[in-house]
Structure 1
Amino acid sequence: MTVSEQEINDYVARVRSALADLPPAVRDELTEDLPEHLAVVAAEAGGSLVERLGAPEAYAVELRAAAGVGAGRRRLGGRLTDFTGRARAQLRALDKQLGPPLGYATVREFLRLFAPGWWVLRAYLAAMLLTVVSTGGSFGLLPRVDGNVQAGLMVLAALVVASVALGRRGDRLRTWPRRGLVAGNVVLVVFALSALANAEDRLGYTDYWYDQTAVDGRYEHIRDVFVYDSEGRLVENARLFDQNGDPIRLGYPDCPDLRDPHGTGNPLLRAYPYCPEAAPFGPRPTSAGSRPVLPPLPVPSGDPRPSEAPTASPAVTPSGAASPSPAATPSAEPTG
């Protein structure tokens, strides 16, 4: 990027303005060779004067320190400018000190390698922020516009193009557009950190090492599942599966597992209901004040229950039948 003569003049004017509290002779002496120095810096490759030397106000602070000239009595705004300039000067010095261990002259040059990745990440964070605004606070991994993933992906693609174009032109932005860009980046970083904290909080529900299978947003309020048979009786130790054989897990076990008081089992295999004593319907009432009872399912009409099989009657012996008489055994007669 080529530094124009106008930029050099503007830089000198801002430095002299920051030194306005000094006597004119001192100010002229400090800035006498400044245009020539800036021209030499401008002849070097890469970046604007602000990027190479810092803000003019910070440069004026360095001139004061080098000349040993005090700031005198200045307005609060001027003192704040000096403080900001000193802070920037320290950051620049630290930037130069930490750069060589990374293999670069400054840390800023090293971080520029990650600029394209940040441009894409910035677009993704902006799309997710729009998702939160349009959905009222709920979001997943993909951006959505009023719950529509396809529209969210289209918005994401447009934001990626805009973010990359803005990143490539960032060095040519004026003061206020540049500050607006920095403010937007800060907002997106804060949003990303809050989203990570929210995700960590949601993972905190796995105190029981239990991973919920999301089914639909309508079931997020479910804490337990109670299964009843056709007669209205509570089924304990029940497990739910979908058509593929994958377990369906809803809710979170808020009560201890009385079937495993020592916690030696696998909480992922914990059956329903988690808290049988909290069942909304109870057994048939034996006294007043019992819980409501779930009535049995009615038997459909035209589908009678199978009748009992007839009991076989004992066989009848036909009457009038002559019983065979026992055969006579011939006796041996002695012969005379």
Structure 2
Amino acid sequence: MTVVTEQEIASYVGRVRAALADLPPAVRDELLEELPEHLAEVAVEGEGSLTERLGPPEAYAVELRAAAGVAAPAGGANLDQRISAVVGKGRERLRAVDTRLGPVLGYARLSEFLRLLRPAWWLLRGYLVAMLVTVMVTGEPFGLLPRLGGSTLAALLLLAATVAGSVWLGRRSATLGRRPTWVLHLSSAFLVIFGLVGFFDADSRAAQDGYGYHEVYTDQYSGVRDVYVYDSEGRLVEGVRLFDQNGEPIRLGGPWCDEARERLEPGESYVDPMQQPYPYCPQHAPFQLRGPGPSATPAAVPTSGPDPAGTPIGDPSASPSAVPTSEAPAVTPTPTS
């Protein structure tokens, strides 16, 4: 918790007084008469420095001028005063939003509820840092857990280190100076953007794999539109589905020919590649089997000539019990009941 000291209040009042140095002393003293008491009340109301809650003293001086209807110096406000005025107005609007949204969540101010979420943000920040390191080191897309060389132990150690560092920094963020605080805020904003982009990217990849198929986007297969599989006899095999070593289906290309649209159901206008086996367009196969395929030819049975025993097969004197090997005796079916 940041405690506002009397020295800080006096320093803030002094800078406001310096910003109003062009005014007559009587007018300036009147504007600053109740400022120390007001700053003391603000210091008691919540956490953070006076500059964090009220804006720079120069911007506060501009607000005092506007409230009192006192014109700015004849030369006009310099660049620092203009920037401070813009920052002051922005902070004023944020305070108004803070006050309006607080009761919706059951708190006087929204900032009070957000302070309760600081530990959760510290954990999330450490997780996002681990994911950022993983993406930068490995070049892999955003996932659910950090991966370092395929080692789960290294990933867990990285995650533990980043989360512990984020918690340590969060507990000491109140003691940081103005410039380190701004750096911390900017880095936090960057991590939030990185997390949102990674989340939507992971969601998009999960949607593409909704049917379990993996799209292949490599230089080697980037131009593949169809896959044709042939058997050992050179004949085209249709209705093929491909799987990797883990049993996950692989999907390359997509229905690209007019014939693929002929398989559409009535009322459909889109050929879903996830529902189509390979090849999508068998009519466009790069190789076609020429002529009839191989067929089995029965072995020729000689009709004459001596057998190994010396008896001519076609001799009438052959034993009548000889039955041609190509014929089997007829079997009369016997009824079972």
| Counterpart residue identity of residue 279, structure 2 | P
| Counterpart residue identity of residue 61, structure 1 | V
On the 8 A contact 2:54/2:91 being kept in 1, the answer is no
Deviation at 1:24, TM superposition (A): 4.6
Structure 1 residues 163 and 21, CA gap change in structure 2 (3 angstroms): farther
Counterpart residue number, 2:116: 113
The aligned runs of 1:1-336 (5 Å cut-off) are 1=1, 2-43=3-44, 46-72=47-73, 73-136=76-139, 138-145=141-148, 148-199=151-202, 202=205, 211-213=212-214, 221=222, 224-241=226-243, 246=247, 248-255=249-256, 257-258=260-261, 260-262=263-265, 263=268, 268-276=274-282, 279=285, 281-284=286-289, 311=301, 315=313, 319=317
On the 8 A contact 1:228/1:235 being kept in 2, the answer is yes
| Counterpart residue identity of residue 250, structure 1 | R
Identity of paired residues, percent? 50
SS of the residue 1:249 aligns to: strand
Deviation at 1:187, TM superposition (A): 1.1
Deviations 1:61-115 (CA, angstroms, capped at 9, x unpaired)? 3322332223331112211211211121122122112212221111111222332
On the 8 A contact 2:142/2:198 being kept in 1, the answer is no
Structure 2 regions of 5+ residues with no counterpart? 305-312, 320-337
On the 8 A contact 1:100/1:106 being kept in 2, the answer is yes
Counterpart residue number, 1:324: none
On the 8 A contact 1:142/1:149 being kept in 2, the answer is no
When structure 1 is superposed on structure 2, of 211-220 and 61-70 the one drifting more is: 211-220
On the 8 A contact 1:130/1:145 being kept in 2, the answer is no
Q: Give the CA RMSD over aligned residues.
A: 3.8
TM-score (norm 2): 0.71
CA distance in 2, matches of 1:34, 1:282: 90
Deviation at 1:134, TM superposition (A): 1.7
Deviation at 1:195, TM superposition (A): 2.6
Deviation at 1:232, TM superposition (A): 2.8
Deviation at 1:158, TM superposition (A): 1.1
Deviations 1:252-293 (CA, angstroms, capped at 9, x unpaired)? 4252634623359975442112343564x412579xxxxxxx
Deviations 1:288-329 (CA, angstroms, capped at 9, x unpaired)? xxxxxxxxxxxxxxxxxx9976748685557499xxxxxxxx
SS of the residue 1:88 aligns to: helix
Structure 1 residues 254 and 28, CA gap change in structure 2 (3 angstroms): farther
SS of the residue 1:260 aligns to: coil
Deviation at 1:147, TM superposition (A): 5.7
When structure 1 is superposed on structure 2, of 86-95 and 46-55 the one drifting more is: 46-55
Structure 1 residues 202 and 40, CA gap change in structure 2 (3 angstroms): closer
SS of the residue 1:253 aligns to: coil
Deviation at 1:193, TM superposition (A): 3.1
| Counterpart residue identity of residue 119, structure 1 | W
CA distance in 1, matches of 2:42, 2:218: 60
When structure 1 is superposed on structure 2, of 83-92 and 194-203 the one drifting more is: 194-203
Deviation at 1:52, TM superposition (A): 4.5
* Residues matched between the structures, number: 298
CA distance in 2, matches of 1:192, 1:254: 35
| Counterpart residue identity of residue 287, structure 2 | G
Deviation at 1:204, TM superposition (A): 7.2
CA distance in 1, matches of 2:148, 2:317: 93
| Counterpart residue identity of residue 235, structure 2 | R
Deviation at 1:44, TM superposition (A): 5.1
Deviation at 1:51, TM superposition (A): 4.7
When structure 1 is superposed on structure 2, of 217-226 and 103-112 the one drifting more is: 217-226
When structure 1 is superposed on structure 2, of 82-91 and 187-196 the one drifting more is: 187-196
CA distance in 2, matches of 1:266, 1:133: 35
CA distance in 1, matches of 2:221, 2:160: 31
TM-score (norm 1): 0.71
CA distance in 2, matches of 1:284, 1:133: 51
Structure 1 residues 251 and 16, CA gap change in structure 2 (3 angstroms): farther
CA distance in 2, matches of 1:60, 1:97: 25
Structure 1 regions of 5+ residues with no counterpart? 287-305, 322-336
CA distance in 2, matches of 1:318, 1:309: 24
